[in-house]
Structure 1
Amino acid sequence: MERLSMRIPENAAVILKGLSEAGYEAYVVGGCVRDSLLGREPKDWDITTSARPEQVKAVFAHTIDTGIEHGTVTVMIGKEGYEVTTYRIDGEYEDSRHPKEVQFTSQLLEDLKRRDFTINAMAYNPDRGIVDAFDGIGDLERKIIRCVGVPQERFDEDALRIMRAVRFSAQLGFEIDGPTKEAITEKVQQLENISAERIQMELVKILVSEHPEYMRLACDLGITAVVLPEYDRIRGVSQYTPNHIYDVEEHTLRAMMNIVPDKVLRLTMLMHDFGKPDVKKMVEGGREIFYKHPEVSAAYAEKIMRRLKFDNDTRTKVVRLVKWHGLKYDASEVSVRRALNRVGQDIFEDFIKVQHADIEAKNPAVIPGKLALLAEKEKTYHKVIAEGQCFTVRQLAIGGLDLIRAGIEPGPLLGAVLDKLTEAVIDDQRMNNKEKLLELAEKLKDDPAVFTPKEDFFM
C-alpha cells in the first residue's frame, strides 16, 4: 500500500467519510486515481465500497438506483452525483460483454482483480493511501498499458477492452506491453460481439486523443479489420502525384494530426480519402489520379456512420465535409460564393479547416503555395459574409411565390429556375433585383437547359 496522497473533491471526501463512519471501507478508484497520479484533472470520481447497495442507501439521504443490479448507486451531494459501487466479483462471461451474474464481496482486492488494466486498478483513501496491488504506478512510470492478470481472460470478459487498450495508449502516449498485444491479436475477432454504439464510442475517443495516428496500431493489431475494414483498404495505396509523397494511409494519419481534436473534424480526416482505392488510375508518365474520390469517400462515410450508429447531425456534417473536401475554387468573390452555395455556410469554416489539414499532409514542396491560396480564399469568405452577398436561393430578391404568380407551375421546373437564378446572381450580384430576375425567369422556363445540373470540380 503506497502512502502517496491525492487531492480529491470535497464531495467525494464527504462520501468516503460517511461510509467510513458507518463502518464500511470506501475508496475512489480507477481512472480518477490514474489521472491524478499523471497530474491530469479527472472527469469522474468513482467510488468503490464494501457496503452493499442497500447499506449505501441507508447512509445517505439522497441516492439514485442507477445500476443497482450491478451494485451501483449514485449518491447525490447537493447537485453533484457520484457513482458508488459495491466490491464485486464477476461471474462467467458468455457474450464477451456481460457477466452471467455479479457476486458482491467484502474484499477490495477481489474487486480490483476484475478491472481491465493495471493503471485503472488502483484505489485511494485519504486514511490508507493508494492500494496498488498490480504495480499500476510502475506501469505509469514505464508508460505501459498492461492487463490485470491474464490478458486473454480480461478480453474474454469484455472484448471492448481490446479497443480500450489502444484508446488509453493513444490518450496517454503509452506502449501496449507484449503479452497484452498478443492477447489482442488472439481475441480481436470477439469485437464482433460488441454493439455498434460501444465500438463507436471507443473509436471516437481514439480519434480525438492526443495521438489519432495510433489508428495505425489499431490496424496492426487487426482491430480495424473487424470494426472498420475500410481503413485497411487504404494501407499501402501509393499516390504518385506532384501533390503527394505519402501513401494514402500515411497522408490520412498526418491529416488527422493536423486538425483540432474535434469529433466531426477528426472523423472527416479519417474517412476523407477512403474512396481512393476505388478510383485510382495511372495515366501517361506514371502519374496516378483519383478522379472524384471525394464523392466515393462520402458514400463510404455514409455507410460506415450508419453502421456504427452515429447520430444524424454528426453523420450529415461528416459526409458533407468529406464530399466537398476536394472542391476546386479560387479566391475570387464569384468562386467563393459558388463554394459557399455548394458546401453550405453552416460548415464552411470547418470546410476551410479540413482543406488546411489536408494540404499540410501533402508534399512539402506544394504546401506553402496551397496554404497561401487558402488564406486568400478565407479572407474572401469573410468579406462575402460581412457584406451579405447572395449565394443561396433564400437570399434572392424573389421567391417561389413570385415565380408562381409569373406563371411558372410549382414542381421541378420551379426549383430548377430558382437554382439557375441563384447561379446567375452568384456570377453577378447586380442581378439580384426583382425585375431582372423575373425577366430571366421568363426566358428560363422554356429553356430545356434549365434542368442541366450544376457542375462541380474536385481535386
Structure 2
Amino acid sequence: MKEHTQIPKDALFIIDTLEKHGHEAYVVGGCVRDMIMGREPNDWDITTSAKPEEVKAAFKRTYDTGIQHGTVTVIVDKEHYEVTTYRIEGEYKDSRRPEHVSFVTDITLDLSRRDFTMNAIAYHPVRGFVDPYNGKKHIEQNLIKSVRDAKERFTEDALRILRAVRFSAQLGFKIDDNTIEGIKACKHLLKNISKERIRDEFLKICMSDRPEAIHTLYELGLLEYILPEFIPTYTTAQNHPHHLYDVAHHTIEAMRHTPKDEVLRLSMLLHDIGKAKVRSTDKKGIDHFYGHPEVSAEIAKKVLKDLRLDNQTIKEVTLLVSYHDYHLRQKITKVYIKEILKVTGEVLFDQLLLVNEADARAQSLDKLPMKLEQIAYVRKLKEEIVVNHECYNLKMLAINGGDLIKEGIAPGKAVGEALEKALKYVIKYPEKNIKEELVEYIKE
C-alpha cells in the first residue's frame, strides 16, 4: 500500500523535520483511518515523541493550541497542523477530561488512550503502520471496537458513547458487542456532558447518510440524554390510509429523503414530534392527529433551545414544522400561497416544499404520485408569483407609511393597520399594487 502518497507534503515536511531533530513522528487517528478506507481526510494530525517546547524549537511559526495537553499548532505556508506529544492520561473525574496528562516516549502507550481501534493507528511514510489494537483489521470488518476495556474508555469520556453511534452513522460500521455492553453500562454518564457537545455529535448523526442511527440511540437508551421528547413517537402508531409506519419510523424515513441541510433535517426530525400528545382514534379505528403541527412546533422550539441551537435555526425550523401540512388545511390557491410566503419568505417556502416531498415519500406509496403532483402544482404557482412580482409582503407594496402620513393618516398604529389592509387587498388583487390606486383604496 502507498498510503503515504496521500499525505500532504507539508505534513511530510513536519515529520521529516522532527525526525532530523532526533524525535519520532507519525500521522495518527482519523486521517489514518480515512486513508485506509480510501476517503479524503479533513485534518492531518501528527503525534511525536518531542515535547511541546522541542516542537516549538524545531519550527519558525507555531502557536500553543492545548499546551497543557501537549498540543502545538505548526504553520507551514498557510496550512495549520496540530502536533501532539505522545501522552498517557490521568484520572477522569468529570467523564470529560483528564485531571492531568503525562508525556511518554512510546507511541503504543499513546495509542492505548484512544477511543476506538480504528482511530488508534499511526502511520509513518517509511516505517509503515503502528497498529497495536488491530484497527486495520476492524476497519476491513466494518467494526467499531473500543481500545482495550470499553467501560474504561467511556468512563474517561462519556461523549465517546455518542461518537460510537456517530461513526456508525457516518461510516456504516457495526458497533462491536463488547462496546455495546460498555455503552449500556456507562450511558448514565452522559448526564455529565454539556448540551453543546451532545448537540454536536447528534447533529452529525442527523446529517449523515444514515439518520436511521437515531434508532440505535433509542435501542441503547441514549435518547433520554439527547431528545427525550422523541421517545414517545416509537409507541405512537399511525393507523391511517396515508401512513405505513409509526411516527418514529415515518420521521426517520422522511429524514432519509431530505437533503443534508441542517434546517431541513431538524425540521423533518421534529415535524411530527407532537403527534403522541394529540392522537385520537375514530369509530372506524383510524387515527387522527388534529393540531399536531402547532404542538410539534412548540416542542421543537423547546428542544432546539435545550440543545443550544442558534436563534435563526430555531426560527426557521419552527416555521417549517408549523406549516408542514399547510396543503391539508385549505384549497391551494395563489392567494393562499402568498399568505404563506408573507410569513416564510421565498427561500424558506422552497424548503417547505422539500419538507412536503420528504414527508410524502415516507408515507403510503400508492398515494405518492398524487402528492408529488400537488407539490409540483404548488411550486408552479409559487414560481408564477415570483416571476410576475406579485406582492406578498409589506416591502413589495407600492405604498409605505410615509405615503399614508402625507395623505393625512396619523403616525402610529393606524398607519400599520392601513398598510396591512392594503397588503391583504393586493394579495387578492395583484394588479392593484399601484400607488395611486392603493391611496384611493385606503381613503375609501
Q: Which residue of 1 aligns with 2:397?
A: 396
Q: Does the alignment pair 1:212 with 2:196?
A: no
CA distance in 2, matches of 1:312, 1:298: 14
Moved over 6 A (4+): none
TM-aligned CA deviation for residue 116 of structure 1: 0.4
Name the counterpart of 2:371.
370
Task: Give the Cα separation in 2 of the matches to 1:435 and 1:252.
Answer: 50
Q: Residue 282 of structure 2 aligns with which residue?
A: 283
RMSD of aligned alpha carbons: 1.7
Contact 1:6 1:36 in 2 (8 A): no
Aligned partner of 2:37: which letter?
A: L
Q: How big is the shift at 1:384?
A: 1.4
How far off its partner does 1:313 sit? Answer: 2.3
* Structure 2 gap segments, 5+ residues each: none
For residue 278 of structure 1, report the CA deviation from its aligned partner. 1.4
Alignment of 1:17-416 (within 5 A): 17-328=16-327, 332-416=333-417
1:455 match:
none
**Whole-angstrom CA distance in 1 between matches of 2:326 and 2:288:** 15
Opposite residue 201 of structure 1, the aligned amino acid is D
Matched AA of 1:341? K
Unpaired runs of 5+ residues, structure 1, are 444-459
Cα deviation code 1:386-415 (max 9, x no counterpart): 221111111111112223344444444433
In structure 1, distance between residues paired with 2:417 and 2:68: 59
Secondary structure class of the residue paired with 2:348: helix
Contact residue 30 and residue 120 of structure 1 kept, 8 A: yes
Partners of 1:259 and 1:266 in 2: CA distance: 6
Pick closer, same or farther for the CA change 1:438–1:249 going to 2, 3 Å: same
Classify 1:4/1:345 alpha carbon distance in 2 versus 1 (closer, same or farther; 3 Å): closer
User: Offset of 1:304 from its aligned partner?
Assistant: 1.2
Kindly indicate whether the alpha-carbon contact (under 8 Å) linking 2:199 and 2:226 is maintained by their aligned counterparts in 1: no
Report the AA paired with residue 182 of structure 1: E
1:386 to 1:406, Cα distance in 2 relative to 1, 3 A: same
Is the deviation greater in 232-241 or in 154-163?
232-241
Distance 1:153 1:416 in 2: 65
Q: 1:82, 1:126 → 2: CA distance?
A: 17
Q: Deviations over 1:14-55 (max 9, x none)?
A: 101111111111000000000111111000000000000000
| TM-score, normalisation: structure 1 | 0.93
Aligned length: 442
CA shift digits 1:371-392 (9 cap, x unpaired) = 0110121122222112211111
Check 1:433–1:100 CA distance in 2 against 1; reply closer, same or farther (3 A cut): same
Deviation at 1:324, TM superposition (A): 1.5
Per-residue Cα deviation, 1:206-264 (whole angstroms, up to 9, x for no partner): 01111011100011111111121011121121112222121100100100000111211
CA distance in 2, matches of 1:348, 1:10: 46
Q: Identify if the C-alpha distance between structure 1 residues 156 and 370 changes in structure 2 by more than 3 Å, giving closer, same or farther.
A: same
Worse-matched range after superposition: 386-395 or 39-48: 386-395
Q: Output the CA distance in 1 between the equivalents of 2:3 and 2:40.
A: 17
Shift of 1:297: 1.2
Query: 1:335 and 1:3, CA in 2 relative to 1: closer, same or farther beyond 3 A?
Result: closer
